[in-house]
Structure 1
Amino acid sequence: MTIGGSFGSWLLFVPNFVLAALMYTLLGRAILGLAVGTDSTNYIWRFFCRITDPVVTVVALVTPKAAAPVVVWLFGVVWLFWLRVALLYVYLAFSPTQAG
């Protein structure tokens, strides 16, 4: 494997890992939100909220205001999933092909 090849794969793997971590944390927030109130002082709940609040803020901009918070969180999971698919597509579209 060449240096350029391994560097190119890091351009996919690092952002994909970050997006996956956000996606699964947001899914965990949606599931935990069913058991814990949204105003809970539980330290695990606060961690999930602190990590995912930037994503929720962006998703809330394009989601109707009448939607329940859990719907916004689940839309965030879907948006992050499709962002990961788009990242993979861009990586495959611009990666050089390996001959022979």
Structure 2
Amino acid sequence: MTIGESLGSWLLFVPNFILAALMYTLLGRVVLGLVVGTDSTNYIWRFFCRVTDPVVAVVARVTPKAAAPVIVWLFGVVWLFWLRVALLYAYLAFSPTQAG
């Protein structure tokens, strides 16, 4: 593996890891939201909210205002999943093929 191939794989793995961490944290927020109230002072709940609020804000801009917050969170999970799929597709489309 050359340095260029190593750099190319990091350009996929680091953003994919960040998107996966956000996606699963948002999914955790959905599950935890079923147990605790949205105005809870639980430190775990506040962590989940603080980490995922930027994603929720972006998704809320394109989601109807009548949607419940849990629906916005679930849409965020779906959007992050498809963003990860698009990232993988772009990586595969633009990576050089290996001659056999």
TM-score between the two structures when normalised by the length of structure 1: 0.99
- What per-residue deviation string (whole Å, max 9, x for no partner) do you get for residues 21-77 of structure 1? 000000000000000000000000000000000000000000000000000000000
Matches of 2:15 and 2:52 in 1, distance apart?
16
1:14 is aligned to 14
Matches of 2:64 and 2:17 in 1, distance apart?
29
Which runs of structure 1 show a deviation greater than 4 angstroms over 4 or more consecutive aligned residues? none
TM-score between the two structures when normalised by the length of structure 2: 0.99
What residue ranges of structure 2 are gaps of 5+ in the alignment?
A: none
Matches of 2:31 and 2:54 in 1, distance apart?
18
Identity of aligned residues (%): 89
Matches of 1:20 and 1:98 in 2, distance apart?
28
What residue ranges of structure 1 are gaps of 5+ in the alignment?
A: none
How much is the aligned-residue C-alpha RMSD, in angstroms?
A: 0.3
Matches of 2:97 and 2:29 in 1, distance apart?
40
Aligned length: 100
